[in-house]
Structure 1
């Protein structure tokens, strides 16, 4: 059974699932395998160089057997606050993806995202790009969603709830509150709305489709794949984690010195001694030294492992293609159940 939503029609995919761009984890291999399986894969720029980005995009092209002139059916994600640090570096990073004709670009966590939307639109116009690059923007409130729709004219909205692993706005409401609030504000015929936050299994995605979302974004689930760039130690920590294992914190950013995030942003990851020590007032230099040592030695009690609240639902590593196939089958099954309930009534 096919699943027909505004997202699947826009992207030309059969499964309304997007693999999130996750810095340090979502590379070309993961994005390519997710797309090859019928969903849509994003890779992340995060802290990588232009050269590394180009290499990852070349990897995607090779894995999908695409000629140099063919578009790449994946997306690339950018952190707005990093782009804002240097216009020249930002334009080089964006152009590397645009020159490779990626299908989509995802923007999040910036104070001036419209600057980069304008840059992408101008590039497309200058190069007569048809169809134009699909622009995803991540939001955490109905207010921000309306700005992205009416002022920025974006193509896809991503509603990120408080349950999401990795970085997000600590004030964001839970997903089942956020999605209806945005749907109520969306104009008729507005862009597809995707739900993100703690999602791991197909039944969750199906419930959000019934609610009115056009698809879902999964991040943590795709960390537990051979294609993820997470280390084996990080993957083992995820597999072993229980549902109550995550916490919202800035401890890991303080420990590694990544403090350029906009006001109100923190991260959700697995609670460990790095968080405990900083919360207890341990000297930051001591914490940094122990954190660095933990990273070198793969110590889960010290290293960073981002994870969403749904982590306890999954306890195994699977290939990305297999995950997409399972998600699709599960979504279809639960949509049928929902339809039968409606018919019975």
Structure 2
């Protein structure tokens, strides 16, 4: 959700009854502070009040920075007393977990920051639970939009496998990957997940930082429109991701040119112009595999309500089927 989920989207999702995260992504401390201030203003909270949103960090970005710079980025969220921090895609995630917990201890927080950690394998899930004692675990399947591990199993395989491996008393497990409507939500809850994470559906909201051209492209996408690729990272020069990671986005001529070996400088120039012109055949639109179920741009509040209503209705049908009533 980097470049899409800012303070307004996170706050409106929480206000609607879900829990919103804003993406630190490639932001600097000043920009992150601005987004958090926007969220706080929407809730009309004092500076000392707990801010009921989370902030998501790319752990590899923290690890590429000097320790002081990384800690400054984390401190922006912690100083704002956010309710949760989400960590993903790093090799030293335990280091940042220790920093967050030490910060809370030093500030004598009676309501410590919840730590969410994203995983894509059973092995990483077990480490996160047993060694790092995370508060919430997120299982990201291969269907997920944006970046993820290309070798990750589908979410319908990953969730049961993780649940089978976790000890009794394990933290809540959230499912992420390819979900766009309430039927997806109901199915993963039935499968045993404690909750679900949706990203792509919230890209097509009025509060999303995506451009209008990107939102139109999401609404126009069909089944099979997405592809896992590093083409866009090559085109925009963001190749620092750890090994094994690529991104799921809408397929277009940028990807096609990369696949056909077009000179990288030509691809970059066409990509840059496509972004400037809002050309869907060139620009980047991250999207999960369920993007074809998005038929319109709506407010975050309306999306949350629709997801809830459909999930509740489908859950009732499931219970009726299993009980025979």
TM-score (norm 2): 0.99
C-alpha distance in 2 between matches for 1:128 and 1:234: 44
**2:183 maps to which of 189, 203, 227:** 203
Q: Which residue of 2 is the match for residue 30 of structure 1?
A: 9
**1:54 maps to which of 24, 33, 37:** 33
Q: Which residue of 2 is the match for residue 274 of structure 1?
A: 254
Residue 245 of structure 2 corresponds to residue 265 of structure 1: yes
Cα deviations by residue, 1:80-121 (Å, 9 ceiling, x for unpaired):
110011112111110000000000000000111111001001
Q: Which residue of 1 is the match for residue 50 of structure 2?
A: 71
C-alpha distance in 2 between matches for 1:89 and 1:26: 22
Aligned runs of 1:1-345 on 2, under 5 Å?
A: 22-86=1-65, 87-344=67-324
Cα deviations by residue, 1:168-207 (Å, 9 ceiling, x for unpaired):
0000010100000001011111010000000011111111
Cα deviations by residue, 1:253-303 (Å, 9 ceiling, x for unpaired):
000010111100000000001100011001111111111111111111111
Query: Unaligned stretches of 5+ in structure 1?
Result: 1-21
What SS does the corresponding residue of 1:309 show, helix, strand or coil? coil
C-alpha distance in 1 between matches for 2:70 and 2:5: 19
Cα deviations by residue, 1:32-72 (Å, 9 ceiling, x for unpaired):
00000000000001111101111111101110111111000
C-alpha distance in 2 between matches for 1:273 and 1:130: 52
C-alpha distance in 1 between matches for 2:32 and 2:285: 23
What SS does the corresponding residue of 2:20 show, helix, strand or coil? strand
- Greater CA drift, 159-168 or 202-211: 202-211
Query: Unaligned stretches of 5+ in structure 2?
Result: none
C-alpha distance in 2 between matches for 1:218 and 1:300: 23
C-alpha distance in 1 between matches for 2:218 and 2:190: 29
Runs of 4 or more off by more than 2 Å in structure 1?
none
C-alpha distance in 2 between matches for 1:89 and 1:321: 35
What SS does the corresponding residue of 2:189 show, helix, strand or coil? helix
What SS does the corresponding residue of 2:290 show, helix, strand or coil? helix
C-alpha distance in 1 between matches for 2:7 and 2:216: 22
C-alpha distance in 2 between matches for 1:74 and 1:218: 15
